[in-house]
Amino acid sequence: MTEKELQRLFALTEYERPFWESNRLVGGADEAGRGPLAGPVVAACAVLPKEPLIAGVNDSKKLSPKKREKLFAEIAALGSFGVGTVDAQTIDEINILEATKRAFAGAFEALAAPVEVLLVDAVKGLAIPAEQLPIVKGDAKSYLIAAASIVAKVTRDRMMQEFDALYPVYGFARNKGYGTAEHIRAIAEHGPCPIHRRSFIRKWI
């Protein structure tokens, strides 16, 4: 690992270090898929040791799909994580914010370790038995939230690849459910499929 990368990771672990140093088990949580027109919202909680730090961990949006897959494998090998998903039908029933909170709670429950403190990307008031520290743009400021963002993004992208095989006309493998021009045209032409969020696509159906 280069000195520059070590310095970047040191800055990225600013929120984690006080908890690591006091031996409090801390995790990070983030979600993927709040904005798409189709597919689930996916949340992940990640727990990693204070050393060794994983080179390259960053906000998933700043990483290529190949790099995210590589880091996902390293996170899984070195630490642990839980994943929670909420499907499109439930998103329509309870709204995306409540669905996101439910996904976070599911991810927390899926953790093997009893996390005491959870660093969360922006969302407040989760129904979990842990101290919560919401951080605005946390996936760019916190090592553990960044790790969780990678897990959530890779997990959701894999799910959308599988949905693409079931519903090929919408281009889910390419657009991951987001509202690209191709995707919107397909909705207008073919109508929605079972994984579309009706509350998101009313103007096209």
Residue 200 lies in a domain: no
For residue 79, what pLDDT band results from cuts at 50, 70 and 90? very high
Per-residue pLDDT, 190? 96
User: Residue 95's domain spans which residues?
Assistant: 3-155
Residue 183 lies in a domain: no
Residue 194 lies in a domain: no
Question: What's the mean pLDDT when you consider all of the chain?
Answer: 96
Residue 60 lies in a domain: yes
* One-character DSSP codes across the chain: --HHHHHHHHHHTTTTHHHHHTT--EEEEEEE-SS-SBS-EEEEEEE--SSSPPTT---GGGS-HHHHHHHHHHHHHHSEEEEEEE-HHHHHHH-HHHHHHHHHHHHHHT-SS--SEEEEES----SSSSEEEEETTGGGT-HHHHHHHHHHHHHHHHHHHHHHHHSGGG-HHHHTT---HHHHHHHHHH---TTB-TTTSGGG-
For residue 205, what pLDDT band results from cuts at 50, 70 and 90? confident
At 89-139, the pLDDT tens digits run 999 999 999 999 999 999 999 998 889 999 999 999 999 999 999 999 999
**CATH number for the domain including 150?**
3.30.420.10
Per-residue pLDDT, 132? 97
